[in-house]
Amino acid sequence: MEKNMIGKYLRDLRRRRGMSQQELALALGVSKQTISNWEVGRKVPRMKAVDKIANIFGVSRNSILAGLPVEMLEQADRRVVDLTYRDIRLTYLGQQVPREYIDIIEKLMRWDIAERDAQ
């Protein structure tokens, strides 16, 4: 599994659309450097940017977050694990996900859910 799946998927979507990094940056209201940072894996887009990217390319937000086309997500044999289960060890690329990372993900999810509920 690749470490920079979101960035590689974003670059692939952009190139298939025939867009430059500058064109995508203008469409998203960010700098060309931000797009470059996402594509090489230095940074990842925030949730609002992910939503805009999904709309621009006509793909799901989950597809972008997973860094995979939706068809591959549907074919993947994955178990659902709730992050609130404290006794489950989550791994990524064979490494255990530190508890502090899971806490950060939970905070982001609560923020995203609250933001959607407010709309």
How do residues 93-118 score in pLDDT, each as one tens digit? 778 888 888 888 888 888 888 877 77
Q: How many CA atoms lie within 13 A of 89 on its CB side?
A: 4
What tokens were used for 46?
Answer: 């925030």
Q: What confidence score (pLDDT) does residue 74 get?
A: 56
**pLDDT tens-digit series, residues 15-62:** 999 999 999 999 999 999 999 999 999 999 999 999 999 999 999 888
Q: pLDDT confidence of 91, banded at 50, 70, 90? A: confident
CA separation, residue 59 to residues 4, 12, 74, 105 (Å)? 18, 12, 13, 22
Q: Bridge-partner residues for 91, per DSSP?
A: 96
Q: What confidence score (pLDDT) does residue 93 get?
A: 72
| 63-76: average pLDDT | 70
Question: Which residue has tokens 């979507």?
Answer: 13
**pLDDT tens-digit series, residues 45-57:** 999 999 999 999 9
Q: What confidence score (pLDDT) does residue 118 get?
A: 78
Dihedral (Cα; 52, 53, 58, 62), 10-degree rounding: -100
